[in-house]
Chains A and B, each alone.
Chain A
Amino acid sequence: MKNKAIIGLSISMLILSGCWDRRELNDRAIWLATGWDVAEDGNIEISGQIMIPANLQTQSGGGGGGGGAGLGFFTISAKGRNISDALQSMQEKLPREAFFGQRRVTFFGEEFAKQGLKKEIDVNSRIPGISLRGDIFVVKDGTAKEILTKANPLEKSPALTSIKEHRQSGGRGDTSYVNFLIASNRDGIRPSIPIIDVTSSLEGAKSGKDNSPNPEVLRLAGVGVFDRNLKMLGALNTEENRDLLWVMGFLKKMIISISQQDDNGSNASIQLTKISSKIEPMFTRNNEVRFTVSLKGEGRLEENNSGLDLTDAKNLRLLEKKFEAEAQKRVQSTITRVQEEYGMDIFGFGETVHRNNPTKWKSLKSHWDETFPETEIIVKANVKIKQIGMDGPSILFRESELEK
């Protein structure tokens, strides 16, 4: 019996000691973000941002006075036929094995995106250990490699910066990649990817080097429009991006501002917090499709720089009307611009036909790219002011100046 136990133990020692996939934490390079660019010779260039674990603690203690030595990351790049090829050459510069489990962001250089993503980025979902959850961005007027070197004074790494900016601005956030994949597989919607660029912290002023009060920062700069073959056609700006997100139903918060020309240029703003949208397809007699987009938003009034007394429901309705008109005008013009300039249905109008009139969609879907630019789309907006803040009328206006 005792002998048997000893034999059993020694066999299990042989088999179970697991020497093959032993990975110590300090043998791993934690990879935060990947950048994709085109190289001159038709190959691609992959850049990666890698965390420096020793520099991570300074954030809580130093509060930003650490200087260049405290940078939480470094950037590395290599060229190759595809990412695996590039990674192999990159590993030769890297003392530790790259570990992709924490990768949360992917950047594509603008030129790379314009050449098309379809035949390049299979690896993102094929290799195990990377979650499908992740932000993706196209870098406007630049390369992903460059973006990955830009530190932000508040965050330890550009990867984190872009994720947090994305979340703050109420976009689609870390579901971007899955959204992109789903849209590229559907007939009734074309993919779109958020755009990021580099700008200076102070508008207009040339930014300084590290540690200057006007550093270079990353900025969300709109959204890129893609076609069926996943080639980027062009971009919409930030405001148009918000309109797009509102129509798509991704938007979580947004501020609408109006100026009242009739009132000596006074203005007002509303912070929308409860936002939704509904697209309804309709068919005319000769079977042409039309859409009505109903936008809804509720929120609190942030500013009212006029003499309107907001304790009066009539005046609130007046303001709401103006916000509605503004929202309607903006979204309508964004849709028209997309129709005229790109002709790609990045909003997903086709999908609503697919869902609501699936039989009619079968005849539409093959030539949707040709139909969409000609389609009539009507936008309606409905804005409700739920709170007005701490004042009734503006405190800066005299009793006699108030509009009742």
Chain B
Amino acid sequence: MKLSGLQIFWLMFTFETGNLILLTISPAIKEAKQDTWIAYLIASLLGVLIVYVATKIALLYPHHTLIQFSKLILGKGLGVVIVITYLFQWYSVVPFILRESADFLNTILLPETPSWAMVVPMVILTIYINLIGGIEGIARCSEVFGPIVILSITLSIVLLFKDFNTLNLLPVFVDTGVLPIWKGTLSPLAFLGESVIMLMLVSFTNEPEKVLKGAVWGITLAAIMGNVAVLSVLLTFGHEISAKMLHPAFDMVSYISVMDFIQNVEIIAVLVWVLSVFIKLSLYFFLACYGTAQLFKIINWKRIVWVVSPLFVILALLIPNVSFDISYTTKYWIHFALPVNMIGIPLILLITSRIRKKFACGQ
């Protein structure tokens, strides 16, 4: 299982973009109003910083995954605690993504199809790609999907140019202020910060020297797409009504109408999102299985797949409704995963490993 630098780039980009655009815009606009684009710029910078730090740490131990080197850095007990924190994140996010994709498709396209009929095939696909291709298969998939995602987003935005109203962005800063903008930063940042999984991925590459570049650029491109999307939402609808929509980016694409001819193209948005979500799902699925295997020192990680996947399906079907999804994102993801998993632990790892290296040199 070897990834190239370019594959890391596409993997990071495709992994981030879909959910970043679909899920973070509305909560961010609710807080930061017409200045949400500033919030996204800040989130982008911090997001790139997170992936930079995560990759840097992982590059200190290029042949070990997070599961192994956290023990090397912090000792056995603390190492396991850290691993469990991350495993909890990966295990919890998979059912939520599954359920969310099912709910979204239920709302948009297939109102009468039961959830399980969308969750189960998705899980089967995920199992398939993990068993056949492993991480390399997922990366190759993202190499195919990534360009499609870029192309569709760019195309939709271009078709919307004529509906942009720059006055929607005014007045800048006066209506909001530092605190609301910062609050608006959190939701995109919590999604861009998912790139912290580079802690795991670096050990799978055969080009450690190109990994940093690939990961940073991948997140940068995803962040640019997010920025462009949020800016277009603000320019088309203004902040007042888009804050109340659940998926303003989707509404924006369905708003496209060029010469009465290009209309109802919202299926493009669904396409982008399904492709991106598939990558995200398979990657988290892989991490959950591989991480568990390494934690319990099971040599063949693929055996874990069969234990874990029914669990995911059941958990996904147990989630009661859409509002529960939203509170998961705001409560756990923003208030726990962001400060702990994406910022706190990487910083602790970085500082401790630096100190250890210095100490080792001193001896």
Contact = CB atoms under 8 A, between A and B. Distances in A.
A5 interface: no
Interface in B80-134: 107-114, 117, 120-121, 124
A125 interface: yes
Contacts of B251: 125, 132
Interface residues of A, number: 27
Contacts of A174: 257
B237 A101 contact: no
Contacts of B174: 358-359
Contacts of A94: none
A21 B112 contact: yes
A182 B241 contact: yes
Given A21-B111, A21-B113, A182 B245 contact: no
A356 B175 CA distance: 12
B330 interface: no
Contact of A131 (B124, B167, B241, B264): B264
Interface in A325-365: 351, 354-356, 358-359
B175 A132 contact: no
A358 B175 contact: yes
B110 A131 contact: no
Nearest to B110: A21
A185 interface: yes
Given A185-B240, A186-B240, A354-B171, A16 B254 contact: no
A20 B113 CA distance: 5
Nearest to A187: B240
A178 B257 CA distance: 13
Contact of B255 (A133, A185, A351): A133
B263 interface: yes
B113 A132 contact: no
Given A18-B113, A20-B113, A175-B163, A182 B257 contact: no
Nearest to A18: B113
B348 interface: no
Contacts of A129: 108
B163 A20 contact: no
Interface in B129-177: 163, 167, 170-171, 174-175
Contacts of B255: 131-133, 178
B238 interface: yes
Most chain B CB atoms below 10 A, which of A21, A128, A186, A354: A128
Contacts of A131: 254-255, 257, 263-264, 266
A182 B171 contact: no
Interface string A271-290: 00000000000000000000
Most buried by A among B120, B174, B266: B174
A310 to B, nearest CB: 35
Nearest to B257: A133
A1 interface: no
A178 B251 CA distance: 11
A15 interface: yes
A20 B257 contact: no
Contacts of A178: 237, 241, 255
B264 A101 contact: yes
Contacts of B112: 20-21
Nearest to B116: A15
Contacts of A354: 170-171
B237 A182 contact: yes
A351 B110 CA distance: 41
Contacts of B245: 125
A12 B117 CA distance: 11
Contacts of B109: 21
B120 A15 contact: yes
Contacts of B238: 182, 185-186
Contacts of B121: 12, 15-16
A202 interface: no
A211 to B, nearest CB: 28
Nearest to A163: B260
B240 A20 contact: no
A175 B236 CA distance: 10
Contacts of B263: 131, 133
Interface in A101-131: 101, 125, 128-129, 131
B167 A355 contact: yes
A131 to B, nearest CB: 5
Nearest to B118: A15
Contacts of B108: 128-129
A131 B250 CA distance: 10
A181 interface: yes
B269 to A, nearest CB: 12
Contacts of B111: 21
Interface in A68-121: 101
A355 B109 CA distance: 39
B247 to A, nearest CB: 9
Interface string A166-191: 00000000110010011001100000
A181 B237 CA distance: 9
B112 to A, nearest CB: 5
Given A15-B120, A178-B237, A355-B167, A132 B257 contact: no
B30 to A, nearest CB: 13
Contacts of A356: 171
Interface string A361-398: 00000000000000000000000000000000000000
A175 B117 CA distance: 38
Nearest to A351: B167
A20 B241 CA distance: 33
Nearest to B241: A181
A11 B120 CA distance: 11
Contacts of B167: 351, 355
A296 B263 CA distance: 33
B154 to A, nearest CB: 21
**What are the nearest 10 A-B pairs in CB distance?**
A185-B240, A358-B174, A358-B171, A20-B113, A355-B170, A21-B110, A20-B112, A131-B254, A181-B241, A128-B108
Given A20-B110, A186-B240, 15 more contacts: A15-B120, A18-B110, A20-B117, A21-B113, A125-B251, A129-B108, A131-B257, A131-B264, A131-B266, A132-B255, A133-B263, A182-B238, A186-B238, A355-B171, A356-B171
13 contacts: A20-B113, A20-B114, A101-B264, A125-B251, A131-B255, A132-B251, A181-B241, A182-B238, A186-B240, A355-B167, A355-B171, A358-B174, A359-B174
Interface of B: 107-114, 117, 120-121, 124, 163, 167, 170-171, 174-175, 237-238, 240-241, 245, 251, 254-255, 257, 263-264, 266
